[in-house]
Structure 1
Amino acid sequence: MALATRTDRRPSLARTLWVSTVGKKTVMAVTGLIMLGYLVAHMYGNLKIFFGLDAFNEYAHWLRTMGEPMLHYEWALWIVRVVLVVAVVLHGVCAYQLSRRDLAARPSKYVHKRPRASYATRTMRWGGIILALFIVWHILDLTTGTVHTGGFQSGRPYQNVVDTFSTWYGNVIYIVAMLALGLHIRHGFWSAAQTLGVGNATRDRVLKATANVLALVLTAGFVAVPVAVMTGVVS
């Protein structure tokens, strides 16, 4: 009787969703949109550096006090961080597993070497790796100060940003990562819309245009900061 009970037990909905290809694509779409929302807010905050030292440092301080007095100091910021870490991990795991399934489904190489996807699609995997490595470097540089050059100063984010982009390698790492981000967003937003069933014959053109605009605006917005430091606009 015990064996029969175990045999008749059905997997949970969450388990069924997780193991299916459609489920993994849905998880990637949802987590991708969460990260996209964060990127828009993060870019907006970064651009405050153009309003001067006080404005940028006050914004960085506000990030740690938002939600007060209901939430304690940095609680809201840590909630955002935890949500982002979960989203990044789920996104990365699903991307890896889907990639392995794709390779397993076609173990032999194609006879015709004709490109089967756009440039952005074909660089999504490498772009994801570049972004993952960049996130680690970015945290160690401007959050913990572990790899920061010029002497990391806690509580002085404006000067820390200027220090980072006063080095050629800091600019190269950041700009290359932002270009990879633009390609990732361009393809990812479109893929998420298709996975979530938003696209159709009449909306596809608008969705593609939106993906292009988002990719362009976010890339330009993020790259504007190191370029401003390099050219002396921000110093």
Structure 2
Amino acid sequence: MALTSERAGQRTEDTATPNGREPSRAALLWGSTIGKKAAMAVSGGVLIGYLVLHLIGNLNVFAGPAAMDGYAAWLRTLGEPLLRREWLLWIARAVLLAAAVVHGTAAYQLSRRDLRARPVGYRHTRARSSYATRTMRWGGVILGLFIVWHILDLTTLTVNPRGEAGHPYENLVATFRTWYGDLVYIVAMLALGLHVRHGFWSAAQTLGLSSRRRERVLKATANLLALALTAGFVSIPIAVMTGAVK
């Protein structure tokens, strides 16, 4: 009896916060493996939704400068007159930043937890995992670095050699007329395809959407979504390189 009470007290002490209070349900959920996986799934869903919308908008480049520049101008007026100019755009950016931070933090902490729990001499887990699974971590790092470069290139125009504010079509074309712009973008989009393919499937399992009857449909959806995003984004630099977009 004394031993049971002692263990209960130890558990309470282990879960207590520095101020001596019990952690909230949100803190307990975040501290659990399933909680972190759920956070990754939901934040990943937000990011995938953005990617789909972002690709649809970027495909305006094939309709010419007026369509692309008009689309960019329309984004800045979203929410008017209820909201001021660009307010909705900044709200969306804040949501995306929060989703990216949650996604990256949960991924890093799960990775560290997995490494601590895995015995040093255990050699067969990687051999049984798929190529996409093995590249998820490096893919995430590549995408994180790409986001920074992408913002500097097409938002702040810091690294764009011919960047000019208010001319998104010309800025996009200027980027993809450089060999390094094409290389960075295409490599990142290939990493994105692998990340989305595996991430979509993992998220479906985490959120309980997967079953034997739905498995084929979900896998096909993951493959189709990854292929569509990769092909759609990569088609833009290829079009500039081949002269289809000038």
Give TM class, smaller chain. over 0.9
Amino acid at match of 1:169: Y
Aligned residues between the structures: 231
TM-score normalized by the length of structure 1: 0.95
Which residue pairs with 2:30 in the alignment? 18
2:73 corresponds to: 61
Q: Structure 1, unaligned stretches of length 5 or more? A: 1-5
AA in 2 matched with 1:104: R
Large movers: runs of 4+ above 4 Å: 6-9, 111-114
- Which has the bigger relative contact order, CA under 8 A and spacing at least 6? 1
One-letter amino acid matched to 2:156: T
CA distance, structure 2, for counterparts of residue 113 and residue 103 of structure 1: 12
Displacement of 1:215 after TM fit? Answer: 0.1
What's the TM-score, normalizing by structure 2?
0.90
Aligned to 1:229: 240
CA shift, 1:11, in A, is: 1.9
Q: Name the amino acid aligned to 2:233.
A: F
Paired with 2:124 and 2:157, the residues of 1 have a C-alpha distance of 49
The aligned amino acid for 1:182 is G
Q: How many Å apart are 1:107 and its aligned residue?
A: 3.7
- Alignment map for 1:4-153 (pairs within 5 Å): 9-112=21-124, 115-150=127-162, 152-153=163-164
**Corresponding residue to 2:171 among 160, 169, 179:** 160
Larger radius of gyration: 2
Amino acid at match of 2:150: H
Match of 1:3 in 2: none
Unaligned stretches of 5+ in structure 2?
Answer: 1-16
Q: Please, what is the CA RMSD of the aligned residues? A: 1.8
Counterpart contact for 2:126–2:134, Cα < 8 Å: no
Deviations 1:146-185 (A, max 9, x none): 11112x1100000000000000000000000000000000
Contact persistence 2:154–2:160 (CA under 8 A): yes
1:115 Cα deviation (Å)?
A: 1.3
For residues 21 and 60 of structure 1, what CA distance do their matches in structure 2 show? 40
Answering whether residue 223 of structure 2 is matched by residue 209 of structure 1, we say no
SS of residue in 2 equivalent to 1:123: helix
